[in-house]
Amino acid sequence: MPGKESQGRKSLANGARAAGGGTIVALSSLGSDRVLPAYGAVGASKATIEAIIRYLAVEGAPDGIRANVVSAGAVDTDALRHFPDREGMLASAAERTPAGRTLTPDDVAAAVCFLCFDDASMIRGEVLRVDGGYSLIA
């Protein structure tokens, strides 16, 4: 219902008020807005997360809540092991990425940390691509 605050939103707002604000950083991927092989369900969920974060950034702002997304390129994690041709994906990403290598978990963590600092206080509802330039290549 428009104008009716959900219980979850009330809890988030109350917690943020008590803490003097807060930062939400969600993780996404290029599959949120591009079609990737064998990625349909995951891509749709990532697109949904990005939309929710945009709304949280606006609705949470009065309570001092900042919300953003880090959209990471290929990172060799346990999650990637569930995709077909994992090795091929990593090799292709390293070869095609202008930065010359695939991402590490530390690369992604650094972007998340940046968005949590006061220096990023005016970045709200944005998707920060951290992919070494991979998404720039057609």
Q: What is the chain's alpha carbon radius of gyration, rounded to the nearest angstrom?
A: 17
Q: How many CA atoms lie within 13 A of 127 on its CB side?
A: 23
Catalytic residue among 4, 46, 55, 134: 46
Kindly state the tokens that stand for 32. 């949120």
Backbone angles phi, psi at 92, to 5 degrees: -65, -40
Q: Tell me whether strands 127-130 and 22-29 are parallel, antiparallel or unpaired.
A: unpaired
Catalytic residue among 10, 39, 55, 134: 39
Kindly state the tokens that stand for 25. 């950083």
Catalytic residue at 46?
yes
Backbone angles phi, psi at 26, to 5 degrees: -100, 160
Say how many C-beta atoms besides its own lie within 10 A of residue 23's C-beta: 19
Residues acting as catalytic residues: 39, 46
